[in-house]
Structure 1
Amino acid sequence: MVLPIIHTLQISFLSLLFFTFLLHTTISYTPLAKILFFLLTTHLHFFQLFSLCTLISFYYYYHTRPHRVFLLNYTCYKPPLHRKCSYKISESYVLKNVHLVEKSIDFMRNIYLKSGLGDETYGPPFIFEDDDGDNNNNNNTNNVPTLKSANQEAREGVFSSIDELLGKTLIDPQSIDVVIVTCGGFSPSPSLSSLIVNRYNLRSDVKTYNLSGMGCSSGVLSIDFAARVLRGSQKVQNALVVITESITLNWYHGENRSMLVTNCIFRVGCAAAIMSNNPKLFKRAKMELVHSLRTHHGDDDSSYRAAIQEEDEKGNTGISLTKDLVRVAGVNLRQHIKILAPRVLPLTQITNYIYSMIISTILPQSKFKPMVPDFTTAFEHMCIHTGGKAVIEQVSRVLKLSDEVTEAAKMTLNRFGNTSSSLVFYELAYFEAQKGKVKKGDKMWMIAFGTGFKVGSLVWKWMQDSTQDCDNPWNDCIHNYPLKVW
């Protein structure tokens, strides 16, 4: 406690000297400055009062400035082996589904084969339930999505992730001050955050937040939300962020093609993270959150309806992914990076970008177009939204990214599928699984898209060299990646 006070006094004294010198040298010709300088140099009481005010100002700044926010650690849920949802298993389930017509099955088969998903992804529990033990029954009557199976899917992912996280961070559940849970398409009552409080016997004064309906961007947005809570707090706090999605109740068995797509690309996943503003945990933290940005483009009708939950003409509920989704993602990404770029890019890139904008404005008839900033000059690593093969390719085109930069997104889509809100953390785990890939001081960009239409970005700075944790979901397969053909 004594050392910070001494540092504060030293800084205050040096600042006072500098301020006095500045007054004397730069504005000494004004009458007011001469009077102030005279009072400071000839009146001891005024000098003491001025010094006291300076000290109070520094003290106030020191204790009210926003806290630095760190990611202490995270985990990604890896379902058991018997939940692997290969093409063969997926086709077998679909063929036995009495609600799906042949045209819908053919369409889903074509989408799956072009999706970029491999045979190692994981499906929800209801797909693997036995049908009364009757293997000769070709009609799937028991393997249907229910509230019970949705709860099972959520509980398995949430509890497994939190157990692993608490185990490796050695964080006492009683020291958790904030709980934020995001699950876009499943909002039971009591909420999932209440489920966590009950399961881990958290304190009665814990602050809980339950987010829903925010789509694949909600993982990024929930981290941003946690950071805002921690920065605004006047005391040291720890926040538990749980990022999950239950795809069970969004399984679609109608004939609307835009809704059938979700059956093909969405898979089971969950992530949990401990965020903290405690400076004592600085050395243990993996990363520091240095920038975050959220943009909402719901004022545009095409953006709002690009991905939307609705009923088809027969009353079947599903998530409709329209043909306009990829275009909307590209347009809104451009709007998003216009705001993000000045905050993160080096000065040379910003200068070149502004120059190209001016030239294209002055000479509108010319073929000269504004340059696309090179974001690889700002970030060593990128976790790009793995919403699907077309989305990754669109982001790559807009930002002019190489295959090496988008490798993590492509491989994550192949290995785990679209796990919705938790997907960027599976990409993060991919980087960590490659020994020596991430170094202390490296910057990482996470970007994700969500329904509404939302775009979210997180910029992290690594506080230490990355390590391959024992629970990394890539541990048993990283030697097979990257794939040569995707």
Structure 2
Amino acid sequence: MHGALAEMQMHACTSLVDYFDKDSVEFMSKILHSSGQGPETYLPPSMHFIPPRPTHLNSIQEAQMVLFPIMEDLLVKSSHCPRDIDFLIVNCSAFCSSPSLSSMIVNKFEMRSDVKTFNLSGMGCSASILAMALAQNLLLVHKESNVIILSTEILTTGLYSGKERPKLVLNCLFRMGGAAILLTNRKQARKESKYTLVRVMRDQRCFNDKAYTSAIREEDSNGLTGVTLRKDILEVASDMIRAQLSALGSSMLPITEKAKFAISILRKRFVTKATEIYVPNFKTIVRHYCLPVSGRPVIKEIGKGLRLGERELEAAFATLHRFGNQSSSSLWYELAYIEAKKRVKKGERVWMLGMGTGPKCGSVVLECIRPIISESKKGPWADCIDRYPFSAFNNN
């Protein structure tokens, strides 16, 4: 299941799979080499065959392989049983089964008949943050409740077998993974909780045709389905990030930072257009950052825009290298990395930023409410945390 196998398969596809011609294989190989992903990322079993087997049954098996273990692990770590859960939210964009994935979980774990379930699809890498917003709203209405979010992406059905390069990119970028998150407003749970939810922000650009089609699933000229990534996506992403920063800054930045920003705008408008707009120092309100892991260039560009140093970007680079882009669940692997490095202290804040198809963008601010210890000995980084960081992040 290692990502390194993907490249070997692609070269083998030159002679064994008629829809991957030589040019397509070479193009995907270049994407893999420049992506920032290491040799230990995971692909589902369906993609270990030549040709791959993107069947419905294999998609179901992949979903079970990811969702069942993380659900069980969360219940054990939180000392809950399935019947303690009042709401279940499952997000997955590429695969929508019937019965739903949330129904699959209820059936497997024999949850209560009155548990309220939600299935989110089509929201891409932003889905986990949007699920947090939904959970927050549920908890504001329903007292003494528990919400579980299961965040994943099923890759089996997402394979594009054609030759159009804008659609071939996604064959290379995404990897297998998932995260389970428990949110609660029960009073007795505060002592065990790691974080309190400070703020959730959402933004979208679906109303704009150019933005709407910047990342879209569609058929190619031969009727084969894949997700097209257009060049407009970078401009759209920058626009949405600015909106998130504006919302975050207006509500949380200290008055001195707001003043510097306002003065720079006035100076640019009325004094000299050459004046650069002041970028507020968000480190005054946020200590740790979990960013989209869409690729090394994207991480660097976001970091540059936020004036972040190597240490703040370390979790994103490490997650990309070790686990790849796991869509909406990647942010939680980054948070697990920061915890495993013993960097999150009580009172410090974490900002998680997610962007996905639509296009949609969301962010969450969490505040640590208790000391977090022993995370390096459990979780996804238990067997490799000592290997990170390393210089390859910035040199390759």
TM over 0.5, shorter chain: yes
Alpha-carbon separation, structure 1, partners of 2:174 and 2:85:
31
- What do the CA deviations read for 1:94-126 (whole angstroms, capped 9, x no partner)? 444332011000100111111111101000111
Kindly state the Cα deviation for residue 298 of structure 1 after the two structures are TM-superposed: 1.4
Q: Is the 8 A contact 2:128 2:328 kept in 1?
A: yes
Matches within 5 A, 1:419-434: 419-434=326-341
Alpha-carbon separation, structure 2, partners of 1:452 and 1:423:
19
Which residue of the partner structure matches residue 296 of structure 2? 389
Matches within 5 A, 1:55-454: 83-86=1-4, 88-92=7-11, 94-95=13-14, 96-129=16-49, 140-141=50-51, 143-233=52-142, 235-363=143-271, 365-435=272-342, 437-454=343-360
Alpha-carbon separation, structure 2, partners of 1:192 and 1:389:
32
Which residue of the partner structure matches residue 362 of structure 2? 456
TM-score for the superposition, normalised by structure 2: 0.95
Alpha-carbon separation, structure 2, partners of 1:383 and 1:468:
20
Aligned length: 390
SS in 2 for 1:243: strand
Q: Is the 8 A contact 2:211 2:359 kept in 1?
A: yes
1:232 alignment partner AA: V
Kindly state the Cα deviation for residue 465 of structure 1 after the two structures are TM-superposed: 1.9
Alpha-carbon separation, structure 2, partners of 1:93 and 1:199:
38
Alpha-carbon separation, structure 1, partners of 2:12 and 2:171:
11
Alpha-carbon separation, structure 2, partners of 1:457 and 1:335:
11
- What do the CA deviations read for 1:133-167 (whole angstroms, capped 9, x no partner)? xxxxxxx34x3211111111111100010011111
2:84 alignment partner AA: S
Kindly state the Cα deviation for residue 89 of structure 1 after the two structures are TM-superposed: 4.0
Higher mean displacement: 354-363 or 453-462: 354-363
Alpha-carbon separation, structure 1, partners of 2:187 and 2:303:
37
SS in 1 for 2:310: coil
Alpha-carbon separation, structure 2, partners of 1:415 and 1:475:
12
SS in 2 for 1:405: helix
Kindly state the Cα deviation for residue 192 of structure 1 after the two structures are TM-superposed: 0.5
Alpha-carbon separation, structure 1, partners of 2:137 and 2:225:
35
- The 3 A distance-change label for structure 1 pair 232 and 312 is same
1:260 alignment partner AA: L
Alpha-carbon separation, structure 1, partners of 2:238 and 2:273:
24
SS in 2 for 1:179: strand
Q: Is the 8 A contact 1:125 1:152 kept in 2?
A: no
TM-score for the superposition, normalised by structure 1: 0.78
SS in 1 for 2:289: strand
Kindly state the Cα deviation for residue 375 of structure 1 after the two structures are TM-superposed: 1.2
Kindly state the Cα deviation for residue 230 of structure 1 after the two structures are TM-superposed: 0.5
Kindly state the Cα deviation for residue 237 of structure 1 after the two structures are TM-superposed: 0.3
Kindly state the Cα deviation for residue 464 of structure 1 after the two structures are TM-superposed: 1.4
Alpha-carbon separation, structure 1, partners of 2:309 and 2:232:
24
Q: Is the 8 A contact 1:216 1:420 kept in 2?
A: yes
Q: Is the 8 A contact 1:330 1:394 kept in 2?
A: no
2:26 alignment partner AA: D
- The 3 A distance-change label for structure 1 pair 308 and 202 is same
Q: Is the 8 A contact 1:182 1:211 kept in 2?
A: yes
Alpha-carbon separation, structure 2, partners of 1:353 and 1:91:
49
Kindly state the Cα deviation for residue 385 of structure 1 after the two structures are TM-superposed: 0.9
Larger Rg: 1
- The 3 A distance-change label for structure 1 pair 155 and 175 is same
Kindly state the Cα deviation for residue 208 of structure 1 after the two structures are TM-superposed: 0.6
Higher mean displacement: 388-397 or 197-206: 388-397
1:85 alignment partner AA: G
Q: Is the 8 A contact 1:326 1:390 kept in 2?
A: no
Q: Is the 8 A contact 1:378 1:443 kept in 2?
A: yes
Alpha-carbon separation, structure 2, partners of 1:242 and 1:468:
23
Alpha-carbon separation, structure 1, partners of 2:311 and 2:369:
24
Alpha-carbon separation, structure 2, partners of 1:305 and 1:414:
29
Alpha-carbon separation, structure 2, partners of 1:120 and 1:324:
31
2:318 alignment partner AA: M
Alpha-carbon separation, structure 1, partners of 2:123 and 2:241:
17
What percent identity do the matched residue pairs reach? 38
Kindly state the Cα deviation for residue 90 of structure 1 after the two structures are TM-superposed: 4.5
- The 3 A distance-change label for structure 1 pair 468 and 309 is farther
Kindly state the Cα deviation for residue 92 of structure 1 after the two structures are TM-superposed: 4.9
Which residue of the partner structure matches residue 381 of structure 2? 474
